[in-house]
């Protein structure tokens, strides 16, 4: 919603808004755009003579005082997704990125590839790509890249948000069960994804992994567009990215061979039509190689040659809150990460582990803050998801509905407050012979740890008579 506010401001509207628990980086971006945000909801949240109210879906339901006010006074309103689809995207070539994981990173990659190619794309991304330092812009016609979320649209529209976007190019990276607060089953999510497939025109393109059974099932229910499939990346050995007869729907034919894959996936080679293209970038993890393949194929559909796309990815800097280094000293590195699903937690920790030196110590600090994590649906997968970490600290989230004490083990502990986490970290930091790497993982505020922990570590270092390599970022 913050990104939509910025797009509306950029389009010439006078914009203000209200929300709860606004925190960086979005709060900083809104302030830089001159958009005033009030805390909480009341009738005062809607200024007099407002022409249109754009509603998000978090907390805005019947009984909310701002919602009741606009209904009582018959103030015009739309959902954020409907405003985008109706007022911004209808005449654009929309490149939409959907899936349970990797939407933000993949959409950021595509936007950067198009930017690198001189196309000046518009974009709306649920994070801040470091190559842009903004989360949205209108850009130039025709291309607009959007992170396409399956979450429902608003209290008055229970369809997934992505059904308003009508993409010409659709990336579906993966599909697992999530959003337990609005979906009762994986089947419910599949139905929404198939509705999305129905909105892609015949001349459009759907890009998907060939071996994701859930997406294969979605496409088998009916597909009227061209498709392009690629293989999931399972390990550092080479894989083939292919389309063709083994895909259950019509496909164009292109083959890309992945060779020379580094152990941490920070370097690999793509071979297409006997031409080799090197990727040597700052990212790691097999999930990011996977994201890169779908981004390259999406950009290629928009007219960017593969060699240009690879050159762009070599300069791709990543996304804020996606394994972002927020503090670094000679002996400690702290990362801020958005992972909040067992698959994403495993991928991110595994990718980092592959980068570390022998003797380095990896600590995961995880707050199960999403609705699905709070419900306990994935609680039995969490221990395996953190196997790459040497130790895991679990921070109890407000409203948790299951006993997190079940996670306590020889390499894990739970804590009720962020202060308790910091105290425990002080003891763990003394353990390794190498550097200590601390990963903060949550899709929420992680109870302000991303601010308090770096400040604490900087103070600790000063008390010991020396300064960290860099101050808190």
pLDDT truncated to tens, each residue of the chain (473 aa)?
A: 999 999 999 999 999 999 987 877 788 889 999 999 998 998 888 988 899 999 998 778 999 999 999 999 999 999 999 999 999 999 999 999 999 988 999 999 999 999 999 999 999 998 889 999 888 999 999 999 999 999 899 999 989 999 999 999 999 999 988 877 788 899 999 999 999 999 999 999 999 998 889 999 999 999 999 999 887 444 333 333 444 333 344 444 456 788 888 888 889 998 888 889 999 998 988 889 999 999 999 999 999 999 999 999 999 998 888 888 999 998 899 999 888 788 889 988 988 998 888 889 999 999 988 877 888 888 888 889 999 999 999 999 888 888 888 888 899 999 999 999 999 999 898 766 689 999 999 988 888 898 999 999 988 776 665 444 444 44
Last residue of a domain, one of 292, 313, 334: 313
pTM here is 0.81
Q: Quick check: is 468 in a domain?
A: no
Which CATH number is 194's domain given?
Answer: 3.40.1190.10
Last residue of a domain, one of 48, 75, 102: 75
330/408 same-domain check: yes
Report the 10 Å Cβ neighbour count for 180. 17
171/289 same-domain check: yes
252/388 same-domain check: no
59/154 same-domain check: no
Q: Quick check: is 224 in a domain?
A: yes
Answer for the pair 425, 453: CB distance below 8 angstroms, yes or no. yes
Going from the C-alpha of 448 to that of each of 223, 374, 419, 469, the distances in angstroms are 45, 18, 10, 23
277/133 same-domain check: yes
Of 50, 28, 46, give the one whose Cα is nearest residue 38. Answer: 46
395/453 same-domain check: yes
Which CATH number is 53's domain given?
Answer: 3.40.50.720
129/256 same-domain check: yes
Q: Quick check: is 469 in a domain?
A: no
Which CATH number is 338's domain given?
Answer: 3.90.190.20
98/129 same-domain check: yes
Specify the number of domains making up the chain: 3
Q: Quick check: is 471 in a domain?
A: no
Q: Quick check: is 152 in a domain?
A: yes
Integer Cα distance of 428 and 431 in angstroms: 5
Joined together, the tokens standing for residue 99 give 């899936």
355/380 same-domain check: yes
List the domain range (segments joined by +) for residue 390: 324-463
Q: Quick check: is 470 in a domain?
A: no
| Residue in the block written with tokens 């294969």 | 216
Q: Quick check: is 260 in a domain?
A: yes
Last residue of a domain, one of 278, 313, 348: 313
Q: Quick check: is 19 in a domain?
A: yes
pLDDT at position 45 is 86
109/136 same-domain check: yes
Answer for the pair 466, 458: CB distance below 8 angstroms, yes or no. no
288/155 same-domain check: yes
176/226 same-domain check: yes
């Amino acid at each position: 919603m913050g990104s939509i506010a910025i797009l509306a401001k950029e389009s010439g509207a006078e914009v203000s808004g209200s929300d709860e628990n606004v925190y960086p980086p979005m709060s900083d971006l809104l302030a830089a755009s001159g958009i005033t945000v009030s805390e909480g909801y009341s009738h005062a949240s809607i200024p007099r003579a407002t022409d249109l109210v754009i509603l998000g879906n978090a907390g805005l339901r019947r009984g909310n005082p701002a919602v009741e006010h606009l209904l009582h006074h018959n103030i015009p309103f739309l959902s954020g997704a409907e405003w985008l689809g109706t007022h911004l995207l209808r005449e654009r070539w929309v490149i939409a990125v959907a899936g349970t994981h990797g939407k933000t990173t993949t959409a950021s990659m595509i936007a950067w590839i198009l930017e690198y190619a001189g196309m000046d794309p518009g974009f709306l991304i649920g994070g801040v790509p470091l190559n842009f330092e903004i989360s949205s812009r209108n850009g130039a016609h025709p291309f607009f890249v959007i992170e396409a979320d399956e979450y429902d649209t608003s209290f008055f529209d229970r369809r997934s948000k992505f059904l308003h976007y009508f993409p010409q190019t659709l990336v579906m990276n993966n599909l697992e069960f999530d959003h337990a607060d609005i979906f009762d089953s994986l089947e419910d999510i599949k139905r929404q994804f198939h509705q999305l497939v129905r909105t892609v025109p015949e001349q459009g393109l759907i890009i998907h992994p060939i071996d994701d059974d859930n997406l294969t099932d979605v496409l088998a229910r009916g597909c009227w567009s061209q498709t392009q499939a690629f293989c999931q990346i399972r390990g550092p050995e080479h894989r083939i990215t292919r389309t063709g007869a083994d895909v259950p729907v019509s496909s164009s034919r292109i083959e890309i061979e992945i060779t020379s894959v580094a152990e941490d996936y920070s370097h690999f080679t793509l071979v297409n039509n006997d031409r080799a293209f090197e990727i040597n970038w700052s990212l790691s993890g097999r999930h990011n190689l996977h994201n890169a393949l779908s981004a390259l194929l999406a950009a290629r559909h928009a007219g960017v040659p593969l060699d240009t796309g690879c050159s762009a990815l070599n300069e791709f800097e990543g996304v804020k809150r996606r394994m972002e280094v927020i503090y670094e000293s000679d002996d400690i590195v702290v990362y801020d990460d958005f992972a909040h699903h067992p698959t994403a937690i495993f991928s991110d920790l595994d990718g980092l582990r592959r980068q570390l030196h022998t003797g380095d110590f990896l600590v995961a600090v995880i707050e199960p803050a999403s609705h699905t994590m709070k419900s306990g649906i994935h609680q039995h997968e969490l221990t395996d998801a953190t196997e790459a970490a040497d130790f895991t600290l679990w921070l109890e989230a407000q409203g948790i509905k299951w006993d997190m004490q079940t996670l306590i083990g020889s390499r894990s502990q739970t804590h009720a407050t962020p202060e308790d986490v910091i105290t425990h970290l002080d003891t763990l930091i003394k353990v390794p012979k190498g550097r200590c790497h601390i990963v903060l993982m949550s899709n929420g505020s992680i109870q302000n740890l991303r601010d308090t922990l770096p400040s604490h570590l900087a103070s600790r270092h000063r008390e010991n008579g020396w300064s960290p390599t860099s101050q808190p970022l």
